[in-house]
Amino acid sequence: MIDVSVIIVNYNVKDLVDNCIASIYKSNSASHSLEIFLVDNNSVDGSADHIEKTYPEVKVIRNNKNLGFSKANNIALKQASGKYVLILNPDTVLEEGTFRKLIDFTESNAKTGAVTSKLILGNGRLDKACKRSFPKLSVALPRMLGLSKLFPKSRIFGKYNLTYLDENETAEVEAICGAFMFIPKHVIDEAGYFDEDYFMYGEDLDLCYRINEKGYRIFYFPSVTTIHLKGESTRKTRFSYVNNFYGAMRIFVRKNFRHASRILLVILQMGIVYRSMLSYAKRTAKVIYPAVIDTLLLFASFIFAVYYRFQIFPNKPYRFIITVYVIVWLAVFTLYGTYTRKNRFSVIKTFNALFIGLFINSAITYFFKEYAFSREVILTSTIWAIVLLLGWRSVVNIYRFFVDKNILLRKVNLLVVGSKKLTEDMEEKFVSKYNIIYFNNPGYNYEEIKETIIIKHVNEVVFTGDVLSNRDILKLMWTFRERNVKFKIVPSGNELILSKLRGDIENPSLIEIEYNINNKLNIFSKWLFDFLMSTMLIVTVYPVVKLYSFISGNKDSRFVRKVSLLPYIWMNKYSFVGVPVWYEEYDSEYLGKRGMTGLLQLHSDGSLSKEEESKYMLYYAKNQSLLFDIEILLKSLILNYKK
């Protein structure tokens, strides 16, 4: 007879579900007989094929569309033959001995209806959803009012997630999380399967309610610990999350609290509506805030323009027409696609939309004479709008550029535990924020890794292969939960690729690659930048540095030598960014001019091989652009400053 039927519903998380299944087999230290069901909700990432090939003993059930959590689980529940059933999320990792402990606990506690483990998030902290109460008025009201967050240890206000309970002590609770539900099969047969009115969220709460009604007990059992990489398969940033979650709450209240007083039902429904509206508001604010900023700045532009022209604050008639003008501009921005996710920070899109709006607003002054107060106001306000609207977007773009490209060269200490080495392409090496530390000592002692994390001030840890037991990994995560150390696990059989943490290095062919360095527009923009910048520095910096070097006699310093190149840059013999002066394999036909600094200069520490140097130069030649040059210049300045 099968001891445990494990059921996993998968939707486009191939690597995670692979890792989850691997951990299931690893956790079965007592060799219980298992059957594993993978119910695939029409994934497009090849999950089902991959699992069938990698784990032929797993029973893969393919759905031709996304049926949601309840229906998908029920398909497998009808086929399950185990004495116990484990409902498991694909983004979980089990520790060794999980099944032995769960079975022993269930058999030693009469009337056990369901058990969950301690669920640990990727940052090492407890997933509060693993133990909950039903949303009765006394539970829901403090949650709705935010009192549960203010007083988490209060038995009155902390009931929703039972935050007043000790995380390390077993407790009987009302409800547990659907990410990990260990249930005797006869209890499911008696209480019924998941309610298929729920698509996502709420179905676990509903099943727990019915298990309670049948007289069974539900437990939070922290002697078993599970990693829960929460949200990987169902991201919570979209409006669909709000629809599914709060829609599920309404279904739950309507179905299970139908015998409660009408006043209680109304209050609960109002609370659910309030919380859903609050969630909608937060998500809407993230979408419309560029339009809100633009609206405020457009009004400010008109106020400045009116005051500049008439030395007065806009009166009532002006306030009306100003509002019309602002609405016209906002309508143009919207129709022009300025507020789409792709373009909301686009300076060019905003500039074009402002000019279109200028013509429309100018036309209003021609066709509606009663609103033709002053065309000078329209023109002046447009100038102000260009400065302000393009200004705030430019600030955001510069900030994002500095962060995305890691201009300030801020490093995160990344500890890689295992024998695998990180694979990085050239772009990843250039913008990498990681200071990589490898831990590949024989034996992989838990205490040694713990000490390494402390001594090296590690921010992120990546485990590769079976170097540590899942139990030791969980122990580390729990130990460093207050230090906000992030932990990641590389799925079995996968390469350790840097871009997946936040391509292998290419071997480019000189024949197949078209180099940006030889693009005519790039050549012109590079020359223009070099000419203008060198002209300014020759007038301002060059004489001062030369005078200082003459007086001090310090003519051979690195800084003086670089400044001495400015006249050559001005004469177009050198460039600010290019091939190192000392680079031997120089060929101007495809590598460009020699430079004051460059990509290779940034990474050259004397340890690079000739092949690695060549790859850096080829990468720069292939990807050269004015923006790339500015990025290299800024990083060079920051690096020199830090030295």
Report the CATH number that the domain containing residue 104 is assigned in CATH.
3.90.550.10
Calculate what percentage of the chain has a pLDDT beyond 70.
Answer: 81
H or E stretch including 165? none
**Do residue 467 and residue 574 come from a single domain?**
no
DSSP character string of 433-495: -EEEEEE--TT--HHHHHHHHHHTT-SEEEEESSSS-HHHHHHHHHHTGGGT-EEEEEPTT--
Longest Cα separation, the chain: 94
| Residue 416, both tokens | 């890689």
CA dist., res. 390 & res. 347, Å (int): 6
Domain assignment present for 331: yes
Q: Which of 202, 233, 264 is the last residue of a domain?
A: 233
Q: Which residue has the higher pLDDT, 357 or 260?
A: 357
Q: Which residue has the higher pLDDT, 153 or 86?
A: 86
**Do residue 629 and residue 535 come from a single domain?**
yes
Domain assignment present for 364: yes
The residue segments making up the domain with residue 578 are: 516-642
Give pLDDT, residue 369.
60
H or E stretch including 86? strand 84-88
Domain assignment present for 241: no
**Do residue 383 and residue 423 come from a single domain?**
no
**Do residue 26 and residue 132 come from a single domain?**
yes
**Do residue 323 and residue 468 come from a single domain?**
no
Q: How many CB atoms lie within 10 A of CB 404?
A: 10
**Do residue 37 and residue 9 come from a single domain?**
yes
Angle at 23 between CA 19 and CA 24, to 5 degrees: 120
**Do residue 463 and residue 563 come from a single domain?**
no
Q: pLDDT digit string (tens) for 47-104?
A: 999 999 999 999 999 999 988 888 999 999 999 999 999 999 999 999 999 999 999 9
Q: How many CB atoms lie within 10 A of CB 285?
A: 10
**Do residue 154 and residue 209 come from a single domain?**
yes
Calculate what percentage of the chain has a pLDDT beyond 90.
Answer: 33
Q: Which of 450, 475, 501 is the last residue of a domain?
A: 501
Average per-residue pLDDT for the chain: 82
Structural domains in the chain (count): 4
pTM score: 0.62
**Do residue 346 and residue 417 come from a single domain?**
no
Give pLDDT, residue 231.
54
Domain assignment present for 252: no
**Do residue 152 and residue 15 come from a single domain?**
yes
Beta carbons of 487 and 474 less than 8 angstroms apart: no
Q: Which residue has the higher pLDDT, 419 or 80?
A: 80
Place of tokens 């695939």: 40
pLDDT at 497 over 90: no
Domain assignment present for 339: yes
Report long-range pairs for 476-484 (Cβ below 8 Å, ≥24 apart). 476/124, 476/446, 476/449, 476/450, 477/120, 477/124, 477/227, 478/120, 478/124, 478/225, 479/124, 479/450, 480/124, 480/453, 481/120, 481/123, 481/124, 481/125, 481/126, 484/123
Give pLDDT, residue 171.
94
CA dist., res. 410 & res. 403, Å (int): 9
Q: Which of 358, 390, 422 is the last residue of a domain?
A: 390
The pLDDT of 278-304, averaged and rounded, is: 87
- In 3D space, the residue among 225, 231, 152 whose CA is nearest the CA of residue 478 turns out to be 225
Report the CATH number that the domain containing residue 428 is assigned in CATH.
3.40.640.10
Domain assignment present for 363: yes
Domain assignment present for 274: no
Place of tokens 């005078």: 547
Domain assignment present for 244: no
- In 3D space, the residue among 134, 133, 230, 130 whose CA is nearest the CA of residue 182 turns out to be 130
Confidence bin at 446 (pLDDT 50/70/90) = confident
Give pLDDT, residue 430.
58
**Do residue 374 and residue 423 come from a single domain?**
no
Most trustworthy range by pLDDT among 136-145, 529-538, 556-565: 529-538
pLDDT at 268 over 80: no
**Do residue 161 and residue 119 come from a single domain?**
yes
H or E stretch including 197? none
Confidence bin at 15 (pLDDT 50/70/90) = confident
